[in-house]
Amino acid sequence: MRNKPLSFSLVVVLLLAGCAGAKSDAGDTPAAGSKGTVNIAINPWVGYEADAAVVAYLLEHKLGYTVEKKNLKEEISWQGFETGEVDVVLENWGHNDLRKTYIDEKKVAVNAGPTGNKGVIGWYVPQWMADQYPDITDWKNLGKYADLFKTSESGGKGQLLDGDPSYVTNDEALVANLKLNYKVVYSGSEAALIKAAQQATAQKKPLLFYFYEPQWLFAKEKYVRVKLPAYTEGCDADPKKVACDYPAYELDKIVSKKFAGTGGPAYQLVKNFSWTNEDQNLVSDYLTNQGLDAEHAAEKWVAEHESTWKPWIPAGS
C-alpha cells in the first residue's frame, strides 16, 4: 500500500521471474472468446489474497481459465503491466503517481472499476488503552504518552509500529511534521503487525500502530483510531510535508491495457467483481484463522454466496 524507488535487485527479480514463467504471446492473455492464462499480482496482505482467491477460483472453475498468481509488492506489480507479466491488480490503494506513469503517460494500464471495498488507513491503540487513557486518541496528547510506547527498537522514543515497508504510509513524515517524539519501526509484514496487536490486547501491552480496513482483526478485537489532523484535498501532495490524516480510499482494480482489450470473459469477470468489506473479511478469516488454503477458502465462500458472485459471470459464459 508506500511508494519507494525501485532497487536494481527488485527489477532483476521481476525480470527473472518473467523469464522463468514466460509463455508464447498467444498464451499470455486469453483472446476474446477463448480460454488462456490470467496473470494476477498478489500483494502482501491477506485482504488482497482473499480477493485473489475468489476471483481465481471463479476464473478457473466457472470460466475455464488458468490463473498464474505472482507474489509482488505493489509498485513492482504496476511494472508488470509494461513487461506483460501482470494482467490484473485486484486491490489498488490510491497510487496517483503510478496511475500517472502507467495509465496516463505510458498507457499500458487502465482502471477496471471499484472493488466495492472501502479502505481506511490510520493509527490505532487497543481498546483498553483508550479506556485507561481517554485522551490518548487525540494526536495532540501523544507526546505525554511517548514513554509508554518505548521499546528496544525505538531508540528512547515512543514506538509507532508499521507493517511491511512497501505499504502506503506517510508515517515517518507525520511523526516529523507533527513534531512527535516517536520513531517508526517496521514489523516487516502484516502477520507480524497483527501478532503485535493481538499481544497488546491479550497482555495489556501499550501499542501505537499503523493499521487499515478492511481487515478481519476488527471483527475479532476492538481497537480505537487515533485522531490525526483532518485530511483535506491536497494535504498529502508533497510526501515530505504531510501533516494530515490519510484519506478515505475507494479501492479499485487496475488491469493491463492489453488484457482489457483481449481478455474476453476473464476481463469482464474482473471488471464485474465487487464485494463488501464484510465479504473480504470473511474469506480473510478462512485463510488466516480457519486453516483453509486459497482454493478451499474460495470454494467455501462461493458455495455460500452465489447471489453475490453470480452477477460477476459474463452473460453467455
Q: Does 247 sit behind a cis peptide bond, omega within 30 degrees of 0 on the bond before it?
A: no
Distance of CA 95 to the CA centre of its chain: 11
The pLDDT, as a whole number, for residue 225 is: 96
Confidence band of 1 (pLDDT split at 50, 70, 90): low
CA dist., res. 208 & res. 194, Å (int): 12
pTM of the model: 0.78
Under 8 Å between Cβ of 99 and 53: no
Q: pLDDT tens digits for 41-52? A: 999 999 999 999
For the chain, the residue count is: 317
List pLDDT tens digits, range 3-37: 443 443 334 333 334 433 333 333 344 433 448 99
Summarised one tens digit per residue, pLDDT across range 244-256 is: 999 998 999 999 9
pLDDT digits (tens, 9 = 90+) for 104-159: 999 999 999 999 999 999 999 999 999 999 999 999 999 999 999 999 999 999 99
Q: If you search the block for the grid coordinates 478481519, which residue do you land on?
A: 216
Q: Which residues pair with 70 in a beta bridge?
A: 41
Model pLDDT for residues 50-96, shown as the tens digit of each residue? 999 999 999 999 999 999 999 999 999 999 999 999 999 999 998 88
What is the pairing mode between strands 158-162 and 182-186? Answer: parallel
Domains and CATH numbers, the chain: 8-117+250-312 (3.40.190.10), 119-225 (3.40.190.100)
The amino acid present at 126, given as its one-letter code, is P
- pLDDT value at position 99? 94
Specify the 3-state DSSP secondary structure of 37: strand
Cell of 126: 487497543
